[in-house]
Amino acid sequence: MTVAVAHHASGASAYVMEAAVDEAARRDTTLVVINVVTTKDLDTEEALRSGIGGLVEQAAAARGVDGVGWEVVIATSEDATIDDTATAILDAAEAAGAQMLVIGARRRSRVGKAFLGSVTQELLLDSSVPVLVVKDPVSA
């Protein structure tokens, strides 16, 4: 079993990664970092793995966690729609045997909530495992 975290480069990504590292350490399991791209190539994959690895190491150091094993999974969402992105994340989490999914959330306006879907909402509704939603404490 493992803890999966959906990674997206944003202002809150450090907080999300720290929460995911905490959960993996608390559960004494590995962390799988899922990043969704529209196309894969070896250069992009290597750059993502290297950059995300640095983020995991920083998050572990910030939380005082030592020895959390981790891996990066690059998932593909061909048309980058909300449904396709959410499906790519959920499929990758399931393939990794995740017992929990950690995701970030951002504030949406009332109009945005009414007319636009969100990957976060799709993940919450469709996940077969518990989902921990992390919000940047600055915008809370």
CATH number (domain holding residue 103): 3.40.50.620
Segments forming the whole domain that contains residue 94? 2-135
Measured distance between the N- and C-terminal CA atoms of the chain, rounded to whole angstroms:
31
Number of domains in the chain: 1
Nearest alpha carbon to residue 18 among 123, 92, 104, 117: 104
pTM of the model: 0.86
Q: pLDDT 10s per residue in the chain (140 long)?
A: 899 999 876 666 888 999 999 999 999 999 999 999 887 778 778 888 888 888 899 899 988 888 789 999 988 887 767 788 999 999 999 999 999 999 988 776 666 655 556 888 889 999 999 999 998 776 55
